[in-house]
Structure 1
Amino acid sequence: MENNVADVQAQLGTVVFSVFFIIYALEFFGGRIKTFKRPGRDALFSVAGLIGQPIVSGSILGGVIGYGFATLLPSKSMSLADTPVWLAFLCLFVTKEFLHYWIHRAAHEWRWLWKLHRTHHSGQDMSVGLMYRYNFFWMFLLPQPWLGAFSMYTGLYEGYALAVLASYLTNVLTHTSYRWDLYLRAKLPFTEPAWQVLERYITLPDTHHAHHAYGKGAHPNGNYAVTLFVFDRWFGTAKIPNRRQQQFGLPISPRLHWAEELFWPLVKKPLLPKPAKANPTEG
């Protein structure tokens, strides 16, 4: 059984990272990234997240929670292994989405929690790289590693892998700089009724780009769901702009110190000085 768990983990990891690097390559070779305001900084933050997430989710949380289950509930090991995969997927997917919605919402409403989440919003351009732009300690709050450890211990690993994959694919499609949704709606106008239904239940680039933007068409304090946008509608935080956004990140993004972004509250830094305004009479 342990071999099955390891195989599922390996397959999931292969699919997840392959999808990420394929879309990142499309953005890079498509010329998107070279137009970004701070491409080098963005890349370094993404690399930090790509390294940090396996350490937190697997090595730290996975090990600690797994040890806790084995110590406190030894009789529950693989106790749910006979659960149908479709039922495990459905339960874990909805639970993970529901928990993420409320954790994400709290991070925008509680100031101390916002500083843990702010790093994900300080990127000044939309890209799949934002998916791994994290404060190191924010990763401890995400529901994925907690549910993952529970699922692996109780034998729901296949359903959990499918749940993670469903959310991950949505994350990729909603963070990419390509506004494929607006493109398809413009090119295939006869599909508009289907889009109007879909956007009410599933997160699309339209609503998630608005979440990362400020200014016209923005909705940073809402549109919290990863995949199930219906949660935003049910709990009053939905906004569907149906337009492109022009400004992403935060007005203070250029003034944030990289060390605080990655390691707050261990590292606290004041805002950097405001960039000097160019003198239009010079030159």
Structure 2
Amino acid sequence: MPQLTPVDYAVPFFILLILIEVAWARRRAPASYEARDTLSSLAMGLGSTVAGALAAGLITAAAFTLYQFRLVDIGWAWWAWIACFVLDDFNYYWAHRTGHRVRWFWASHVNHHSSQHYNLSTALRQTWTGFPALSFLFRIWPVLIGFHPGMIATVGAVNLVYQFWIHTEAVRRMPRWFEAVMNTPSHHRVHHAVNPVYLDRNYAGVFIVWDRLFGSFQPEIDGVRIHYGIIRQLGSFNLFHTAFHEWIAMASDVRRAPWRAKLGYLVREPGWTHDNSRDTSDTIRARWQAMQGPGVDS
């Protein structure tokens, strides 16, 4: 019988919290939930669980294969758990940032951003294609240092569980000290926004300090209405379109591009074209800044 993970134990609490938020939304923010959108998010989450289960054995085998070449045996001491958790969150930051800045990885990650609503069900809208995208490589390399694959898998699951609660509009701000160190609903709303000032900001998983350190932090601006989703909205609740639309679009671009530009459609930022016929997040932000005038804080 497969061993349960922290995510498995958390699922009943996820469902309970979604039901509580639905009740809150009916009275305070009825536009927060839309039935077809919520069903899409839940179905994407179910599909992601199935895809993850199918790939788990291969990822585990890869991790244990690399573990044979570890530098040291770190073991299971309490400090090793803390170090592993912090290192994994650091790795998550760079995996997530790459997922927004390299189209190959964006093709896998984009479906998480495809909802135009922001609620706890959005947290469950996860990728079906993380394994073929090779995203797991960002997270398993610490086995080469000496962290056990089981420890890395456990802290990664705890990281994922933490991120569930930040997908909500029901919580406005946490205490200032908490907002300074931890990822919060306010910080993550920014991340899911398509407003030019917010594009490609706040990649953190648990600790927002990574964004502060590496220049990608943007606070939520009071009074600015957030628009959620992606630059080119899906316009459909079809699950297969949600899961695979960017892979299909990327393959089409590679097929039609001149040979000198084909690789760019895989490794450049989303929206990049060899003829500058589309916008990237950088060009959208730059145009917005120019319209705002000098001295605008992006």
TM-score normalised to the size of structure 2? 0.66
State how far apart, in whole Å, the 2-side matches of 1:114 and 1:162 are: 24
Q: 2:241 aligns with which of 250, 257, 260?
A: 260
Look up the match of 1:192.
none
* 1:115-140 per-position Cα deviation (integer Å, ceiling 9, x unaligned): 33221112111112222223421355
- Secondary structure of the 2:198 match is coil
Look up the match of 1:47.
43
Report whether the alignment pairs 1:83 with 2:79: no
CA shift, 1:162, in A, is: 4.8
Look up the match of 1:226.
205
Determine if contact 2:204/2:210 at 8 Å carries over to the other structure. yes
**Letter matched to residue 40 of structure 1:** R
CA shift, 1:175, in A, is: 0.5
Determine if contact 2:202/2:217 at 8 Å carries over to the other structure. yes
State how far apart, in whole Å, the 2-side matches of 1:132 and 1:96 are: 20
CA shift, 1:172, in A, is: 1.8
Q: 1:243 aligns with which of 210, 216, 222?
A: 222
State how far apart, in whole Å, the 2-side matches of 1:69 and 1:164 are: 16
CA 1:252–1:68 in structure 2 vs 1: closer, same or farther (change >3 Å)?
Answer: closer
CA shift, 1:227, in A, is: 0.9
Matches within 5 A, 1:265-280: 267-268=248-249
Point out where structure 1 has 5 or more consecutive residues left out of the alignment: 186-194, 271-283
Look up the match of 1:12.
6
Look up the match of 1:191.
none
Look up the match of 1:161.
154
* 1:239-276 per-position Cα deviation (integer Å, ceiling 9, x unaligned): 11253643211353253673332024654499xxxxxx
Structure whose residues are more often helix by fraction: 1
**Letter matched to residue 157 of structure 1:** G
State how far apart, in whole Å, the 2-side matches of 1:212 and 1:101 are: 15
State how far apart, in whole Å, the 2-side matches of 1:149 and 1:89 are: 13
Look up the match of 1:98.
90
Look up the match of 1:136.
128
* 1:40-72 per-position Cα deviation (integer Å, ceiling 9, x unaligned): 13322322223323x333331x211333466x5
CA shift, 1:92, in A, is: 2.2
State how far apart, in whole Å, the 2-side matches of 1:133 and 1:162 are: 21
Determine if contact 1:88/1:160 at 8 Å carries over to the other structure. no
CA shift, 1:95, in A, is: 2.2
Determine if contact 2:116/2:229 at 8 Å carries over to the other structure. yes
Look up the match of 1:30.
24
State how far apart, in whole Å, the 2-side matches of 1:67 and 1:158 are: 15
**Letter matched to residue 51 of structure 2:** V
CA 1:253–1:89 in structure 2 vs 1: closer, same or farther (change >3 Å)?
Answer: same
Point out where structure 2 has 5 or more consecutive residues left out of the alignment: 253-298
State how far apart, in whole Å, the 1-side matches of 2:33 and 2:67 are: 52
* 1:129-177 per-position Cα deviation (integer Å, ceiling 9, x unaligned): 22222342135544499549969x9756367535532x23431221123
More displaced 10-residue stretch of structure 1: 128-137 or 220-229: 128-137
TM-score normalised to the size of structure 1? 0.69
Q: How many residues align?
A: 244
State how far apart, in whole Å, the 2-side matches of 1:40 and 1:135 are: 18
Look up the match of 2:296.
none
Q: 1:119 aligns with which of 83, 108, 111?
A: 111
Report whether the alignment pairs 1:208 with 2:188: yes
- Secondary structure of the 2:180 match is coil
- Secondary structure of the 1:106 match is helix
**Letter matched to residue 41 of structure 2:** F
**Letter matched to residue 207 of structure 2:** L
**Letter matched to residue 53 of structure 2:** G
State how far apart, in whole Å, the 2-side matches of 1:52 and 1:163 are: 16
State how far apart, in whole Å, the 2-side matches of 1:209 and 1:239 are: 11
* 1:193-237 per-position Cα deviation (integer Å, ceiling 9, x unaligned): xx3332222111111101111338x51311001111111011000
Aligned-residue Cα RMSD (Å) equals 3.8
CA 1:262–1:87 in structure 2 vs 1: closer, same or farther (change >3 Å)?
Answer: same
